[in-house]
A and B are shown apart, each in its own frame.
Chain A
Amino acid sequence: MQGIMTFIPMGKVYPSEIARSMYGYVKGVPSDSWLTPSERTYQRKLPYIKRFDFCRGREAAKRAIMAYMETYEHIRISPEYIAIYSESGVPRVRFDAPYTFLSDALCLSISHTEDRAIAGIVPRSCARSVGVDIEHIRLFSKETLRAFLNQSEYDFCRDTGLEYATVYWSLKEAFLKAWGTGLRVHPIHVEIPPMNLYVRQTNFFLSGEEVPVNVSWTKDDNRYIIASITLV
């Protein structure tokens, strides 16, 4: 199974030509050295296991932001100047002085599973929003497949390979994150024609309405699907 991300996520930071987006990818033991003092305080209040997810997500996001700033804005910035906070469930980026003028310049999305996290950023000047998702490839029950796949998607997965069900899930969740609702909207309402899985600039359908999207997805470590959707 071959995806259509241009990068192979084996390192730490990945630029993409799509809307000047940048991705950070973190695996393994997390470090809280990437956190601001207020993020560290917040992290200590989380359940023990969730602290790891939090640290990996923040590290992935800050790596992506720092790489973006250096690559496209020619500004070197260290992580203590970058604060990531949540607004109605959507992650936002705030820069502390002297970089406050950069605040709200970037859209951000974070996803984690098991021992890894990915973050995607895109400048607001190039795109409306970004959504990323990472999922462990799994075998879904038929009942679950029927619940989130429409008929053409279901037939495609059955005929082509059940791994594609995880691709569909990740693309739908990434799309709904970029849309701003996350899974508050049922994923069955997102329709992805199978022929659009391999088209970088295409349309998804939300409750029958066409939505133009930039699509990236790949398989990592033979066990994970990483998907990114940019709304332009």
Chain B
Amino acid sequence: MRSYQDISNEVRGLIAQTLKIPIEQVMEECPIGDLSEDSIQLFELLITFEREYGVQAHYEDVVNLNTVGDIIVYIGRVVDGVR
């Protein structure tokens, strides 16, 4: 089981890569909607999560998450049971 910090670093890296922004901008308290330019970028982020973590079945949950921190917690629960 990976630590919260490991998952946080990995998820923040994926967000930065997909949204094409520096990882330093991807802070846990940031609303994800403020980091992405539009809905298509957010959708591409969901595809990235599907590919990396197999969260497709939880699409409706993922789009309701607000901050980067919320996403990290959610991915942690889905993948590793980290709380």
B43 in complex: contacting residue of A113, A148, A184, A185, CB < 8 Å:
A148
Q: Is the CB of B43 within 8 A of A143?
A: no
Stretch in contact with the other chain, from B8-16, B32-40, B74-82: B32-40
Q: How far is the CA of A120 from the CA of B39 in the complex (A)?
A: 18
Q: Is the CB of B40 within 8 A of A186?
A: no
Question: Is B60 an interface position by the 8 A CB rule?
Answer: yes
Known pairs A144-B44, A147-B43; A136 contacts B51 (CB<8 A): no
B34 in complex: contacting residue of A50, A143, A173, CB < 8 Å:
A50
A108-122, CB under 8 A of B: which get 1 and which 0? Answer: 000001100000000
Residue in B closest to A114 when the chains form the complex, CB atoms: B37
Report the number of A-B residue pairs with Cβ-Cβ less than 8 Å. Answer: 37
Q: How far is the CA of A185 from the CA of B74 in the complex (A)?
A: 19
Question: Is A8 an interface position by the 8 A CB rule?
Answer: no
Known pairs A184-B63, A186-B59; A144 contacts B39 (CB<8 A): no
Q: Is the CB of A143 within 8 A of B63?
A: no
Question: Is B19 an interface position by the 8 A CB rule?
Answer: no
**Least distance between A78 CB and chain B CB atoms (Å):** 31
**How many B residues touch the partner, as a band?**
10 to 19
CB-defined contacts of B64 to chain A, threshold 8 Å: 184
Question: Is B47 an interface position by the 8 A CB rule?
Answer: yes
Q: How far is the CA of A191 from the CA of B24 in the complex (A)?
A: 39
CB-defined contacts of A185 to chain B, threshold 8 Å: 60
User: Which residues of A53-80 are within 8 A (CB) of B?
Assistant: none
Q: How far is the CA of A169 from the CA of B60 in the complex (A)?
A: 18
Q: Is the CB of B59 within 8 A of A169?
A: no
User: Which residues of B53-79 are within 8 A (CB) of A?
Assistant: 59-60, 63-64
**Least distance between A180 CB and chain B CB atoms (Å):** 14
Q: How far is the CA of A159 from the CA of B7 in the complex (A)?
A: 41
Q: Is the CB of A144 within 8 A of B34?
A: no
Cβ contacts A to B, 15 pairs, < 8 Å: A47-B34, A50-B34, A133-B39, A135-B38, A135-B39, A135-B40, A141-B44, A143-B47, A144-B40, A144-B44, A147-B47, A183-B39, A183-B43, A183-B63, A186-B59
